[in-house]
Structure 1
Amino acid sequence: MAEIGFYHLTRTGAHEALPVLLGKTLDAGKRAVIRCGDPKAVAVLDEALWKVSEPVWLPHAATGGKYPERQPIWITAADDVPNGASFLFLTGIGDALPVEPFERVFDLFDGQDEAAVAAARVRWVALRDAGHTLAYWRQEAKGWTRAR
């Protein structure tokens, strides 16, 4: 079963929150796949991640990019995982998706968007009922607070 963290974004968007989480992923020696809601979001995130230098530079590619199997971070709007990632990041996803075979899942959702919050609640219930280990993280003025 996957360990799933729900990340309630209250002060930044996913583009600002992802670099720290992805940096920690790479530091742990893991690979990541980021699933976006649509191909346009993939292109926007791809462009945004190329501009990141803090906390670390994030080597990555998106659907259509070269050598997908070599990429430590893969961005897609589909179910493909060509890089063998064990960490899954979800951004702008409406419905619950299969979380296997991932070891960890990071579900980032916009706390300012009522529809996104409602969809996250639906995913939470479905994943909880499927027996996954869940954690809820709320973005604060500085950092994250884990709710128990």
Structure 2
Amino acid sequence: MAPRVQFYHNTPDPLALACELVGRAYGSGRKVVVRMPDEASAQVLDRMLWTHERLTFIPHVLQDSPLAGETPIVIASAADTSAAVGKPLWPHTDMLFNLAPDLPPAYPDFKLVVEIVSQREADKLPARARWTQYRERGLTLKAFDAELRVAL
């Protein structure tokens, strides 16, 4: 079954929105992989998830952790896409949050792909290319304005 794809455009703070949406997903029992552009941004998101909501615990690890398969939220870097022989690329295939500028490898394995796009012009062009690639593959797409909190 092909994944559904949701784009959150016009995001003033992509990491804050990722924390919010990941928290909601975890609260509803979902398992999530968050794909960041690089290792540095993965580390920043890791720290943010520890402090996002003071009274909320969101169990998460980086992809290279030995606990990745057992932890509901896994943070990965786009550079870390090499899977060991016989091992799947991602520890979960429920939800994939993509904050990297390219199409995620193995995205068809997921039930839902969430693309988070900032307000920066430099992020909009690659997002449009991903939208087109998903549409050309016949996937169901939905768009939301993240700042106005409305469906487009």
Same fold (TM over 0.5): yes
SS in 2 for 1:68: coil
User: Bigger CA drift: 128-137 or 65-74?
Assistant: 65-74
Give the unaligned 5+ runs of structure 2: 82-88
Tell me the distance in 2 between the aligned counterparts of 1:70 and 1:129.
34
Determine the structure 2 residue equivalent to 1:67.
Answer: 67
Map 1:1-148; keep pairs closer than 5 Å: 1-11=2-12, 13-53=13-53, 56-77=56-77, 78-79=80-81, 80-82=89-91, 84-91=92-99, 93-98=100-105, 99-111=107-119, 113-141=120-148, 144-147=149-152
- Alpha-carbon contact 2:93-2:111 (below 8 Å) kept: no
Give the unaligned 5+ runs of structure 1: none
> Which runs of at least 4 in structure 1 moved beyond 3 Å after TM superposition?
none
- Give the alignment's Cα RMSD to 1 decimal: 1.7
The 1:51/1:70 distance shift into structure 2, 3 A limit, reads same
Identity in percent: 27
State the 1:26 CA deviation. Answer: 1.6
State the 1:24 CA deviation. Answer: 2.1
Q: Which residue identity does 2:4 align to in structure 1?
A: E
